[in-house]
Amino acid sequence: MDVHGLTPDRQLDLGDFSSGADMFLLVKNALQRMEQGQVLEIVSTNPAVKDDLQSWCRLNRHSFFMALDAGDHFRFLIRNNPVKALEQPDWGIKLPLRKGGRLDIRDWFQGRGGELQEHAPAYVGFVPRGAVAEPGVPDFGFTLNKKDDVWSHNLLDLYEQAKENQWNATTDIAWDRLPELPEDLEWAVCQIMTFLAENEYSALYIPAKFMAQINPHYIEALMYLSTLVQDESRHIEAFMKRALAGGGGLQYSSTLTERSLLSLFVQEDYFKSSFLLHVLGEGTFLDLLTFVEEYAPDPVTKQIVTLAKIDEGRHVAYGIGHVRHILERNPNMVKSLIEAAEERNEYLNAADAGENTHLMEAMAILAGGGRSPDRLKAGFERVRRLKAVMHDHRIQRLLQIGLDRETAEAISQTHTPNFM
């Protein structure tokens, strides 16, 4: 080959490296960072590497075409002819800073990393989006491989909000302000906290079981769900601590509650699960927290549910955004939502478990302010009004995701008496 006037595209200085794994690693990496057909110049003070470089090039289908004696060193020229050339990674891209020098997740959609595909490649493994993967990455078997599977228009905003609004159930709750309540009110709080914690187990386990199925191409969805799981962990901690902190303890669990939560847990379709859990379940749970907040008999209980409401609001917002995102692209998917609600209703009706009676009693005591007949009557009336509010609010959320009113009312009517 005529090398007159040839300018190598890249140079690799090996100094006195001897032949071996380290040297070939450096040569391989240098060639992989070059385009096919480009020339790599290797500088070495070790003449013994020539024969090994020639053999390595033959084995890896690169063209070794020149060895030049430059006196105190040697120059070897190799043409890059890889069987599978690597793409070139980004270089020189700087993310724009926000006011105050901040960077948030909404700012990193630049260059290769900003190329969010509608359908993720199967052979991506845990390679960060935007990085260059060598050939041969195995299929990890992810099942949620489409953007529509997990995305929501508000996903990035919710992730940033979740980071900013994290609270600590050990240090951020004024536990020293918990007064000694009358026994009937303390029991009511303990029973309600038991129920809240039980439902939050479900809200923790369900997204957690789907997280490992999400293709890392949509890492933002996984990152947001990780904050959701942390939220639920914190809620469980706070609710259980409140049940124990006032001298009472965890109380009764009902068969209805467990069957209701099982019907959520066994759902294997992420779209249906997001609808049942985040839109219907946690949406109704929000109304329950508002009820407890309104009638809380002490500042600690009130503070806990107030903080939990902020978190749950994000979860509901994700569910609404996610389901609406899909329905906007495929309106026929509304049939799946109706099917999911009806299947769950049929499962619960078959058990004929009725309401969680311990919870209903506790809520009436809380809302009425005690266990006397007059207070219980007032409390039960307020619980009935709460159920009506829950129904109305479910309809509003269902309208938000794009359902017509008739369908929204029908689905709301079938929702579990367990609330979640």
For helices 219-245 and 155-164, what crossing angle results, to 10°? Answer: 40
As a dihedral over the C-alpha atoms of residue 156, residue 162, residue 164, residue 168, rounded to 10 degrees, the angle is -160
**Which pLDDT score, from 0 to 100, does residue 15 have?**
94
Mean pLDDT of 258-275: 94
> Among 70-74, 136-140, 334-338, which is the least confidently predicted range?
136-140
**Which pLDDT score, from 0 to 100, does residue 353 have?**
60
pLDDT at 3 over 70: no
User: From residue 274, how far is each of 151, 195, 220, 269, 374 by CA, in Å?
Assistant: 11, 21, 16, 9, 41
User: Across the chain, what does the average pLDDT equal?
Assistant: 92
**Which pLDDT score, from 0 to 100, does residue 404 have?**
95
pLDDT at 199 over 90: yes
User: Which position has the higher pLDDT, 96 or 240?
Assistant: 240
pLDDT at 1 over 60: no
pLDDT at 352 over 70: no
- CATH 1.10.620.20 segments of the chain: 147-413
Mean pLDDT of 162-183: 97
Residue 67: pLDDT band by 50, 70, 90 thresholds?
confident
- CATH 3.30.110.40 segments of the chain: 10-79
**Which pLDDT score, from 0 to 100, does residue 4 have?**
52
Q: Which CATH code fits 147-413?
A: 1.10.620.20
- Considering the chain, what percentage of its residues have pLDDT values greater than 70? 97
Q: Which CATH code fits 10-79?
A: 3.30.110.40
CA 217, CA 135: separation in Å to the nearest integer?
Answer: 17
**Which pLDDT score, from 0 to 100, does residue 206 have?**
97
Mean pLDDT of 126-134: 89
Per-residue pLDDT tens over the stretch 374-419? 999 999 999 999 999 999 999 999 999 999 999 999 999 988 888 8
Q: Is 375 exposed, middle or buried (0-12, 13-18, 19+ CB in 10 A)?
A: middle
- Considering the chain, what percentage of its residues have pLDDT values greater than 90? 80
Residue 122: pLDDT band by 50, 70, 90 thresholds?
confident
Per-residue pLDDT tens over the stretch 16-64? 999 999 999 999 989 988 888 889 999 999 988 999 999 999 888 888 9
**Which pLDDT score, from 0 to 100, does residue 226 have?**
97
**Which pLDDT score, from 0 to 100, does residue 136 have?**
75
Sheet (strand 10-15) strand order? 10-15, 39-44, 74-79, 63-69
Residue 5: pLDDT band by 50, 70, 90 thresholds?
low
CA 386, CA 192: separation in Å to the nearest integer?
Answer: 15
Mean pLDDT of 286-308: 98
Mean pLDDT of 256-281: 94
